[in-house]
């Protein structure tokens, strides 16, 4: 080969080698870089994902515990509600015993007289305010059983204290006990039957029962 041509060929070969190495070097670097970046990106995404899943799982755990705490409170409420209901039922049952034996040193007739008097005083006080003519005439309505406890003397005494005539009505009602007192014109009535008083006084009764049953006693 001619010397000049031989040099050209060698230069072409050398340049081709260099170009080949450059192409491969750049490709390797590009690949390494992409994989490195992709791995870092994956690791970062993994980290964020796991953290997010951990937060969700922790919230779920809290939700489970909150639900159980609520169920736990329901156990206490359930016991309280059942005990309150039972105390009220037992009290109504005890009324029959009270009719026979009295309660806390008071006979049932005197208890009835107290209820009649309370009702009569409420009505007469209301009637005075409205200046009604029939304010002085009141009738007492009871069950057949309770009517036997009411005497003329009792009504006379109540009439004196209430400031108006109180008489026994012919009408009889179904009730565990207690009394309805109404003005004879029927415009004002106070229902002091035990069932009605239980309904009316429910918030106070509930409070009393809870205090007695569930509050810690000292001493």
Partner 1 sequence: MNLRAMAVEALKEIRKAEEEARKQIEGAKEEAAGMVREAEDELKKLEAEASEDMERRAKEIADKYAKEGEEEGEAILREAKEGAEKLRAIAESRLENAVDAVLIRILGLNKQVER
Helix (H, G, I), strand (E, B) or coil at 14: helix
Residue placing its CB nearer to partner 1 in the complex, 95 or 173: 95
**Which residues touch 136 (CB under 8 Å, ≥6 apart)?**
124, 127, 163, 164, 165
Give the interface segment with partner 1, choosing from 110-118, 127-135, 150-158, 180-188 (CB under 8 A). 110-118
**Token pair in block for residue 165:** 């005539």
Structure letter (DSSP) for residue 184: T
Decide: is 156 part of the binding site for partner 1 (CB under 8 A): no
40, 46, 85, 148: which one binds partner 1 (CB under 8 A): 46
Give pairs for 74-79: CB < 8 Å, separation 24+.
none
Residue placing its CB nearer to partner 1 in the complex, 55 or 185: 55
Decide: is 125 part of the binding site for partner 1 (CB under 8 A): no
The CA distances from residue 114 to 79, 101, 138, 196, in Å, are: 35, 17, 15, 16
Decide: is 44 part of the binding site for partner 1 (CB under 8 A): no
Residue placing its CB nearer to partner 1 in the complex, 72 or 144: 72
103, 107, 126, 168: which one binds partner 1 (CB under 8 A): 103
Residue placing its CB nearer to partner 1 in the complex, 22 or 185: 22
CA atoms of 179 and 12, how far apart (whole Å): 127
Report the half-sphere exposure of 18 (CA within 13 A, side-chain side).
6
40, 85, 86, 185: which one binds partner 1 (CB under 8 A): 86
40, 50, 85, 101: which one binds partner 1 (CB under 8 A): 50
């Amino acid at each position: 080969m001619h010397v000049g041509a031989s040099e050209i060929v060698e230069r072409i070969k050398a340049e081709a080698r260099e170009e080949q190495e450059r192409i491969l070097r750049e490709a390797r670097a590009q690949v390494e870089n992409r994989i490195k970046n992709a791995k870092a990106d994956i690791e970062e995404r993994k980290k964020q994902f796991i953290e997010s899943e951990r937060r969700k799982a922790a919230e779920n755990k809290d939700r489970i515990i909150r639900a159980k705490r609520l169920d736990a409170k329901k156990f206490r409420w359930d016991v309280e509600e059942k005990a309150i209901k039972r105390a009220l039922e037992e009290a109504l049952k005890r009324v029959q015993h009270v009719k026979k034996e009295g309660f806390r040193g008071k006979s049932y007739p005197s208890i009835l007289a107290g209820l009649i008097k309370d009702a009569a005083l409420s009505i007469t006080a209301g009637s005075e305010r409205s200046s009604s003519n029939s304010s002085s005439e009141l009738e007492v309505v009871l069950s057949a059983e309770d009517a036997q406890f009411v005497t003329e003397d009792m009504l006379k005494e109540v009439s004196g204290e209430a400031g108006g005539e109180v008489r026994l009505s012919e009408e009889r009602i179904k009730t565990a006990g207690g009394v309805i007192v109404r003005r004879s014109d029927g415009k004002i009535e106070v229902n002091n039957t035990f069932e009605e008083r239980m309904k009316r006084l429910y918030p106070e009764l509930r409070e009393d029962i809870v205090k007695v049953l569930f509050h810690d006693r000292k001493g």
